[in-house]
Amino acid sequence: MRVFLTGGTGFVGAHVARRLVERGDDVIVLIRASSNISLLQGLSVETIVGDIQDFDSLLGAMKGSDEVYHVAADYRLWARDPREIYHSNVNGTRNVLEAAMRLDIPKVVYTSTVGCLGIPKDGSPGDENTPVTRDELVGHYKKSKYDAEQVALSYAAKGLNIVIVNPSTPIGPGDIKPTPTGKTILDFMRGKMPGFVDTGLNLIDVEDVAVGHLLAARYGRIGEKYILGNRNMTLQEILQVLAKITDRKAPTLCIPYWVAILAAAVDTGISRVLNREPGIPLEGALMSRKKMFFSADKAVRELGLPQSPVEDALRRAVEWFEENNYASCNSTLRP
């Protein structure tokens, strides 16, 4: 089977590429001329230079594909020009889906995020049907992905055979940029986390996320959304697991939200002046006021989404960061 993949040089996309190769597919990965392709090394894939914002390059590269996986996204919690995030996430998605529609691609999987789903006010986990409005979402990344998801749903209504997956918080090896969650792991490894805020995330092994993409293509219902998640954990619980893995002490100081938001606002303001990425993005601090807890029951039930232990994924993330010299730390991994 011929498969076309965007975002294959990134954290999630590279794992999807690996799974497709293992399945025996002919995989075509769209890359930019400036892309770091280190995560694809050793994989039998064909790379084609193009851009999701270049419609003609998409048409040529996608032609003849049996499946399309649109994983590419601009995942940043800060950008000097937020329009860049919308151009990639919204306009790029529209281009990919329009090309798939014109070429009559049999199956498309679009990678969204739980960040554009609703969270119940009572603190219970959200699901695919929890209501949310765009105005409730914090930050340009979440809003752009919400807009892109609406584009995907509109193409499903037009007849495109598309399934939407909403990964929660993938963790594991290969977090090359790294993601905001990866940065949290690194900050802990570097001893730069004196405290924590009372927030939480739904964690899932990145390899399970990759498997979930292939399962969605095979079993997912057209126009449906599937949360690719696993375990809901508070940030304090995550840090306690990292402490056991690295033999470091977990912080015990719970930082009030207003302190974290004030520090982030100052850091973000200074970063704009110095034209650098803030260490504590304001959007990230504002997001921490809600625990991002979700239920993946639908994906487990309908797709057979695996639920591997998140402790193992965290360990492999730490090992990968150490092996690739991301963290200057003296931690010793426990067996």
Asked if pLDDT for residue 332 goes beyond 50, the answer is: no
Each residue's pLDDT tens digit, 168-203: 999 999 999 899 899 999 999 998 888 877 889 999
Each residue's pLDDT tens digit, 302-314: 999 999 999 999 9
Angle at the Cα of 47 from the Cα atoms of 43 and 53, rounded to 5 degrees? 135
Q: What is the mean pLDDT of the chain?
A: 89
Strand pairing report for 195-196 and 253-254: parallel
User: Token pair of 79, please?
Assistant: 């950008």
Across 104-121, b (16+ Cβ under 10 Å) vs e yields ebebbbbbbbbbbbbbee
How many CB atoms within 10 Å of residue 279?
14
81 vs 12, higher pLDDT: 12
Asked if pLDDT for residue 335 goes beyond 60, the answer is: no
What type of residue sits at position 43? Answer: L
CA distances from 11 to 23, 98, 119, 228 (A): 19, 25, 25, 15
CATH topology classification for 2-178+203-232+293-323:
Rossmann fold (3.40.50)
Domain limits, the chain: 2-178+203-232+293-323
Q: Please give the pLDDT value at position 141.
A: 87
Quick one: which of 102, 203, 160 has its CA closest to 151? Answer: 160
Q: Please give the pLDDT value at position 334.
A: 44
Q: Please give the pLDDT value at position 84.
A: 85
Q: Please give the pLDDT value at position 265.
A: 63
Q: Please give the pLDDT value at position 180.
A: 86
Under the banding of pLDDT at 50, 70 and 90, the label for residue 62 is very high
Asked if pLDDT for residue 149 goes beyond 70, the answer is: yes
45 vs 80, higher pLDDT: 45
Average pLDDT over residues 232-255: 91
User: Token pair of 232, please?
Assistant: 């809901």
274 vs 332, higher pLDDT: 274
- What does residue 326 show for φ and ψ, rounded to 5 degrees? -80, -30
Contact assessment for residue 149 and residue 115, using Cβ atoms and an 8 Å cutoff: no
Asked if pLDDT for residue 329 goes beyond 50, the answer is: no
Average pLDDT over residues 248-254: 86
Q: Please give the pLDDT value at position 47.
A: 95
* pTM, to two decimals: 0.91
- The dihedral through the CA atoms of 203, 193, 119, 284 has a sign that is negative
283 vs 309, higher pLDDT: 309
The answer to which of 87-101, 188-202, 293-307 has the lowest mean pLDDT is: 188-202
Asked if pLDDT for residue 102 goes beyond 60, the answer is: yes
Each residue's pLDDT tens digit, 152-169: 999 999 999 999 999 999
Q: Please give the pLDDT value at position 330.
A: 46
Q: Please give the pLDDT value at position 269.
A: 65
What is the share, in percent, of the chain residues with pLDDT greater than 90? 67
How many CB atoms within 10 Å of residue 264?
22
Q: How many residues are there in the chain?
A: 335
